[in-house]
Structure 1
Amino acid sequence: MTDHPSHGERLVEIDDVGLCFETFGNPADPAILLIDGATASMLWWETELCERIARGDRFVIRYDNRDTGRSTSYPPGRPGYTFTDLAGDALGILDALHIERAHVVCRSMSGGLGLIIGVDHPDRVESLTFVSTSTGADGLPPPSDELADGIPAAPDPTDSGAVVDFVVASAKACSGGSPYFDETAMRALVERDVARTRDIAATLVNHYAMSFDGSSRDAAALKAPTLVVHGDHDPVFPLPHGHALRDAIPGATLLILEGAGHDLPKPLWDVFVPALLQHTGGGRPR
């Protein structure tokens, strides 16, 4: 395994939308595109995690979705895009890097983006990995009561300290009481994220305000090898959501992260990274 540091952040214009992205590793290696969920910039795929995956001879790509980080931002409450547009952004990043096919890893809300890409553009997908997400089917358990109790009232977006406190508290609630939640590390990440974000007021609301067109794709139509990763402490999508997603996708494998909530805590990277490398290398996680 070779050590490949970041190649630095870059901004690409795709159909008049500016998207900030960063790559790790050798472009000649198999590409892994990391897509994060609602309100989360690319920083939530931590640099150390990206570097660790790249050391497994993978070319890792992370990017800021619209209304996060340094990518194009829209007026708060008026996102100028739909869910399908966000799926197109992911493909646009691959096009900008001249990558025909990639291993696509989607977390939380972006599981729906992976579904759109996998069903509508199977020629672009080597494999799929769904982390902490759901089929959205009726009858699955709702978010836990503790989750709602742990998320504070929305902050004044002009008060960066209040925003940091809000996001950290929300992340702690989403950890589901995980023994691995590291509040000090989380606060440092959130402070960096808030400092580099174009418009934090838009970040806090716009992903929830957009049209979720295209999200009704049938998971049974997915053809790419699929890994489902789910924490057994997840209070947003309790573990039955992970089982349901695995069951809905032909041939999918489920990796349960014991002690994880709606996140990928660093102590469990020694489980997640080898499984991802095996999955994206053509093998099946044991």
Structure 2
Amino acid sequence: MPNVTANGIQIEYDTFGERSSPALLLIAGNGAQLLFWEDEFCELLAKMGLFVIRFDNRDAGLSTKFDEAGVPDIMTAIKATMEGKAVATAYTLDDMADDCVGLLDALHIEKAHICGASMGGMIAQVVAYRHPQRVLSLTSIMSNTGNPNLPQGRPDAIAAVVAPPPRERTAYIEHNMNVWQKIWSPGFPFEEKRARTYLEKSYDRSYYPQGMARQNMAILSRGDRTAALSSIKAPTLVIHGSDDPLIPVEAGEDTARVIPGANLLIIDGMGHDLPTGVWKEIVTAISRHIKKSTPSNRL
């Protein structure tokens, strides 16, 4: 896969579709590599007439790692945040949003449609209000506004996600199979073969859990983004699962309420994942949203 130097770091990326088509930048969530946006999903979007770009966030996959920053104590940081104390971070969501724009610069793309899932949705939101001139539309999937007054995720789901994974390959895969089962969509069958294949590919490509911890710190340090989100002018689509155990559906509803004119799509039975059973609905929703937001009706 190709890579570029952007915003002072190396970013690994991949593309699908025709370069002349409207650009759609996909941003992965906490600890996830570009593999989160599976080839088949990206190809479905490309068939809708989009130039799809997926990439590794900093501290994930094959993009630049921040080893010198050390591994933070997440539970201590969460406690400090709840007490209203500041936490030190290696970088912020603002930095990660600037990485996205740096990648667009390197690819000579002036404006793009931005889509992110979970932490990726948070980053996409930051891009939309921090770099409004670069954003044609925003799609925020299973994400939130950082509002501390919203319902929190299920304790068992949160504990599974933040628990340190084993280093050995087989143990790592079994550990994360348990995580996936905790956050999986209850309205859809658990896709064991797909989940295991994804985890094997992710481990073999880049085992790097410490990056996830530092990304978590970037989320914690940014806090409530409600005020900033209210300034977003880009056409916005919010997608959320009705049964998300990690970021409850109220977070999606809050996101759509805060961003002016945002449309909300709640998918019945979806959790904190993208089961293949919802791919067609999500791809269709994104492509329709983009078509309405694309200048000169190019799509």
TM-score (norm 1): 0.89
Report what 1:164 is aligned to.
173
Percent of pairs with identical residues: 35
The one of 53, 60, 64 equivalent to 1:68 is: 60
| Mapping for residues 66-145 of structure 1, pairs under 5 Å | 66-75=58-67, 76-77=70-71, 80-145=90-155
- Alpha-carbon separation, structure 1, partners of 2:159 and 2:96: 31
User: What SS class does the counterpart of residue 267 from structure 1 fall into?
Assistant: helix
Superposition deviation, residue 80 in structure 1 = 4.1
Deviations 1:10-29 (A, max 9, x none): 11112441110000000100
Quickly say closer, same or farther: Cα 1:153–1:242, change in 2 above 3 A: closer
Change (3 A) 1:92 1:230: same
Residue 24 of structure 2 aligns to a residue in which SS? strand
**Unaligned stretches of 5+ in structure 1?**
1-8
TM-superposed CA distance for 1:176, in Å, is 4.8
Where does structure 2 lack aligned partners over 5 or more consecutive residues? 73-88, 294-299
CA distance in 2, matches of 1:181, 1:32: 28
SS of the residue 2:292 aligns to: coil
Given that 1:151 and 1:169 are in contact with CA atoms closer than 8 Å, whether structure 2 keeps it comes out as no
Q: What SS is found at the alignment partner of 1:129?
A: strand
Deviates more, 1:202-211 or 1:166-175: 202-211
CA 256–138 in structure 1, closer or farther in 2 if over 3 Å, else same: same
Residue 214 of structure 2 corresponds to residue 206 of structure 1: yes
Task: Tell me which stretches of 4 or more aligned residues in structure 1 moved more than 4 Å.
Answer: 148-153
Compute the RMSD of aligned alpha carbons.
Answer: 2.2
1:214 Cα offset (Å): 8.3
TM-score normalised by L of structure 2: 0.85
User: Residue 73 of structure 1: SS of its match in structure 2?
Assistant: coil
Q: CA deviation at 1:55?
A: 0.4
| CA deviation map 1:52-98 (0-9, x unaligned) | 00001100000001111111112251674322111111001111111
Number of the residue aligned with 2:184: 175
Query: What amino acid is the match of 2:10?
Result: G
> Equivalents in 2 of 1:121, 1:150: separation in Å?
34
Residue matched to 2:256: 246
Q: Provide the aligned length of Structure 1 versus Structure 2.
A: 274
Select between 129-138 and 205-214 the one with higher mean Cα deviation. 205-214
Alignment check: 8 A CA contact 1:152 1:169 kept: no
1:77–1:209 CA contact under 8 A, matched in 2: no
Instruction: Name the CA shift for 1:116/1:57 in 2 (closer, same or farther; >3 Å).
Output: same
C-alpha contact (below 8 Å) 1:77/1:205 kept by paired residues: yes
Equivalent residue number for residue 4 of structure 1: none
CA offset digits 1:223-273 (Å, max 9, x no partner): 000000001110111111111111111111111112210111111111111
Of Structure 1 and Structure 2, the greater helix share is in 2
